[in-house]
A and B are shown apart, each in its own frame.
Chain A
């Protein structure tokens, strides 16, 4: 796949002296959903803001579909739609007018057919004549997406798209994003919700203190860093782990009522049958068991913690 966004040696130092981005290199592949994760103040929004033209870069270059975002800003920005983090809307405009305004701003001739399609896709058609001030938060978020899609962009940036949105709407929003990807739009989203990245992204980038510390296929990331744990609820509590079980990665939990076995689920041999046999031989019985896979959140927290 070819790169649709190519960030090279990008740095940003604000007038206050704050170094928000430190020589970032990043390539976003055409047609993928890329999730950018990072704690507050890590540089996610600064990175998006530079690519979209809201903030001036201090050093480095960014190409959008091959166009330099500074020297060829018109062509570069025409490729991009941006859905900002804040619900910023013109309160007294109607949905139809504000989406049509966005299309005009991007230099496209009026197209009521396209606006109608976008509004219908986002379940906003019934609200087209409503003033924005009368809409709920979730609906306003959809309007912002409609505005970003009004000029038929190839690349869509979603900065915290489901912040403050309830679970049901969040799932609707994910569905909308998936449909967009199916239509060929490349999607870059920043999020605090790890489950969002886990649910949707093809690749994940982690940014911390202005540096990209990891870019990986989501599945590969889960494979590489994802641990699985088997928890056995014991019939009788144990004070210590018997010596003959030392060959396994075992821990006691819940005051000795649980035995936790950590293993790599990707290996051909997980060691579970052997462990169960040894437990049986040692006379340790269990009444129930459960397994748990590391979530992206756990992976993410461990990655950020490892940084100095």
Chain B
């Protein structure tokens, strides 16, 4: 195992995040905090509790999940798209590095960045709304698994995309709508029965539900189903990444 290479890629990516602190940390923290202010404090004060939790606190796990999904995908997709775009990927391909090590470096760095962001937002949210975390281990587990899985998805998108537009397509047109419709701002029990059933086909519902359960012990679907869904998605992404490297798809003709 070429650990020096993994560390080099990881450090390179973390240094890039440091150089772009405004974009990679400050911007997502501020935009997520705005949700707390608008939905939690302003509108939330008119909404009564949801399943025994104040509305402001209720939306925190969903909002963190929204940030986790979009930021993981953006970070990881850009990190591999840019070397392809600029041509510097030649160095990765000509180095004595296995595909696993390349993924470990890039996805590890992207996941680290989003986990740190998630924790910063958690601390920030605590300033606006009263938070409690009933199952901290599970909270961290869901945080790490989600960041990892969606960083892998981002990596796949970064390989697939051949334009900047395509790079933005999935985060903006797929992930954000699915997260908004996935119970970030409401419990799916509040929906009409037919929509409750339809919503269960949205995978993000399981992620938000599991994550919220780790905070308040309330969930829309069982915790086991949430865990199974994230593990299934992780397995799928790993499979696609393995296929990409096996075939050289869009990397190595």
Contact = CB atoms under 8 A, between A and B. Distances in A.
Contacts of B9: 105
Interface in B81-101: 86-88, 90-98
Contacts of A76: 96
A102 interface: yes
A91 B19 CA distance: 12
Contact of B95 (A56, A89, A97, A105): A105
Interface residues of A, number: 33
B162 to A, nearest CB: 15
A178 B96 CA distance: 27
Interface string B58-91: 0000000000000000000000000000111011
A75 B252 CA distance: 20
A53 B94 contact: yes
A193 interface: no
A10 to B, nearest CB: 15
A111 B145 CA distance: 36
Given A84-B87, A101-B12, A105-B5, A56 B19 contact: no
Contacts of B90: 52, 54, 82, 84, 88
Interface in A113-171: 147
A184 interface: no
A80 B253 contact: no
B4 A107 contact: yes
The prevalent SS among residues of B at the interface is helix
Contacts of A78: 96
Interface in B158-198: none
B19 A106 contact: no
B88 A108 contact: no
A55 B94 contact: no
Contacts of A88: 86-88, 90
Interface string A35-72: 00000000000000000111110000000000000000
Give me the 6 closest cross-chain CB pairs, A-B, nearest first.
Answer: A104-B8, A88-B87, A74-B96, A77-B96, A107-B2, A105-B95
Interface of B: 2, 4-5, 7-9, 11-12, 15-16, 19, 86-88, 90-98, 248, 252-253
28 contacts: A15-B253, A53-B93, A54-B90, A56-B248, A56-B252, A76-B96, A77-B94, A77-B96, A82-B90, A82-B94, A84-B87, A84-B90, A86-B87, A88-B86, A89-B86, A90-B88, A91-B86, A92-B16, A92-B19, A101-B8, A102-B91, A103-B8, A104-B5, A104-B7, A105-B91, A105-B92, A106-B4, A106-B5
Given A80-B94, A107-B5, 14 more contacts: A14-B253, A52-B93, A53-B93, A56-B248, A88-B90, A89-B88, A97-B15, A101-B11, A101-B12, A104-B5, A104-B11, A105-B4, A106-B95, A107-B95
